[in-house]
Structure 1
């Protein structure tokens, strides 16, 4: 069978996502599953025999978190900017090493993937989970140009860490 690709951008980096509603549950009986592109974030349905046995029911995330080590500057109006490190990232969020954030708080991030690359500004990220040494952030507002730079970082991590069809 031909490998599954995103109909929007053509990348093979797609992931089965949780069903949304009764129609998608019914369609899954006929091997029609919802997928999410890991780069352009497009959500689509596709016929894919065998996906039922491989769906990631244990992981509700639509985007695979990729191990990374990216410098990030946190901009928070209540304190002066400080540098931190991102340990995993996706198009939808990241894990930031650090404490002192409240669940539900909003922050602004500036990512510095490599020394020569252009910064990526995440205008609004929300603290969704708090762990002893880190916090989980969901990206809420990202300008298109920054989103494109972020997708290039994610693409590089996907190519180096995974096979093209992930969790299908």
Structure 2
């Protein structure tokens, strides 16, 4: 079977995503599934005869979280600045090591320092969406197109380092 590629950017790093609505459930019966590009974030439908593996049924995320170790700085509205370590990242968010004093639902600015790039990737608006004793989940909400492109290059480097043949169901 051929490998799927994103119709927008051409990358093979795509992932099956959750169905939205009755029409997509009907399309699934004829092996047409919704997919999400892991780099340009485009959502599209494609015919695929493969079957989802058991791990993604549990993982509701549209983007695969990729393990990494990057420095990040949180800047909250009340001028709280904290330095953290990013333990995994995707185009939609990241996990920060350790708990933060900020409550769930807090909007903040996030600056991520890539290893290969000296300039920080600036996420203009992010939100703390989960708090655990040893980590904090952050969702990316807004950033400039050039920052999104730089984040996409970072994610691409992590994807390439992780897998030679991408699996759309992982």
Is TM (by shorter chain) over 0.5? yes
How far has the Cα of 1:116 moved from its partner? Answer: 4.0
Residue of structure 2 in register with 1:60 after alignment:
60
User: Are 2:119 and 1:127 aligned?
Assistant: no
Map 1:97-108 to 2 at 5 A: 97-98=97-98, 99-108=100-109
- On the 8 A contact 1:33/1:51 being kept in 2, the answer is no
- Structure 1 stretches of 5 or more lacking a match? none
For normalisation by structure 2, the TM-score amounts to 0.92
- Which whole-Å deviations, capped at 9, do the CAs of 1:25-61 have from their partners, x for residues lacking one? 0000000000000000000000000235668211100
Give distance in 2, aligned partners of 1:65 and 1:3.
21
- On the 8 A contact 2:39/2:152 being kept in 1, the answer is yes
**Distance 1:116-1:52 versus aligned 2 partners, 3 A rule:** closer
Residue of structure 1 in register with 2:95 after alignment:
95
- On the 8 A contact 2:77/2:107 being kept in 1, the answer is no
- On the 8 A contact 1:16/1:55 being kept in 2, the answer is no
- On the 8 A contact 1:31/1:52 being kept in 2, the answer is no
**Distance 1:149-1:116 versus aligned 2 partners, 3 A rule:** closer
User: Are 2:8 and 1:22 aligned?
Assistant: no
- On the 8 A contact 1:31/1:47 being kept in 2, the answer is yes
Structure 1 SS opposite 2:56: coil
- Structure 2 stretches of 5 or more lacking a match? none
Structure 1 residue ranges (4+ consecutive) displaced by more than 4 angstroms after TM superposition: 52-55
- On the 8 A contact 1:6/1:12 being kept in 2, the answer is yes
**Distance 1:52-1:81 versus aligned 2 partners, 3 A rule:** closer
Residue of structure 2 in register with 1:117 after alignment:
118
How far has the Cα of 1:165 moved from its partner? Answer: 2.5
- On the 8 A contact 2:53/2:169 being kept in 1, the answer is no
CA-based RMSD of the aligned residues comes to: 1.6
User: Are 2:167 and 1:165 aligned?
Assistant: yes
